Amino acid sequence: MIIVVTGRPGIGKTTVFIKVVEEVRKQGLTVGGIVCPEVRSSGVRVGFKIVDLMSGSQGWLAYTSTNCPNALRVGKYCINVGDAISVGVKAIVDAVKNADVVCIDEIGPMELRIRELRDAIIHALESSGNVLVVVHQKLNDPKIVRLLKTAVVHEVTLGNRELLPSIIKRELLGGFKGRKSLYK
């Protein structure tokens, strides 16, 4: 089962994602993958971390920089390929092997700029397990769009963002495919 969380920037996609991760963990399931929270300094966004949901290891996915090769620039941010691979790819590969639910925040321009990270995301989507992904509203990667055709999609709005974590948790648990029994 693949569940997609999408919506406009700043609407609360990552907040919904984190709440679902917490709720699913409370059910005793192993959650792996990545979350990419923004980092602010003096109220200004300066970049994004990349955090392994199983191990807690983290690095910089991207940060503001004026000295960045064009191939690694997305808007005002410079992608940190080393951390994206050492933290992100490893987290997703480990999650596909060992987690009950693979969670990826987010599939967007920064993550897809790194071939190895894109490949790991595709591998997770092609796995037969449970996958929860946050998807950038303007995703245009043809292969990933095709893999998401059968996914359950939730667009986060101001009106539903408080309710979505419970709805998504129920969907994940109701369609659960995995090693652990939900009925203890």
pLDDT digits (tens, 9 = 90+) for 48-107: 999 999 999 999 999 999 899 999 999 999 999 999 999 999 999 999 999 999 999 999
Structural tokens at position 149: 């055709």
pLDDT at 181 over 50: no
Structural tokens at position 99: 């987690």
pLDDT at 19 over 70: yes
Whole-structure pTM value: 0.91
Q: Report helix, strand or coil for 162.
A: coil
In angstroms, what is the C-alpha Rg of the chain?
16
Please report the pLDDT score of residue 183 as a whole number: 27
Domains and CATH numbers, the chain: 2-174 (3.40.50.300)
Q: How far apart are CA 130 and CA 99, in angstroms?
A: 9
pLDDT digits (tens, 9 = 90+) for 141-158: 999 999 999 999 999 999
pLDDT at 16 over 90: yes
Q: Which residues contact 69 (CB under 8 A, 6 or more apart)?
A: none
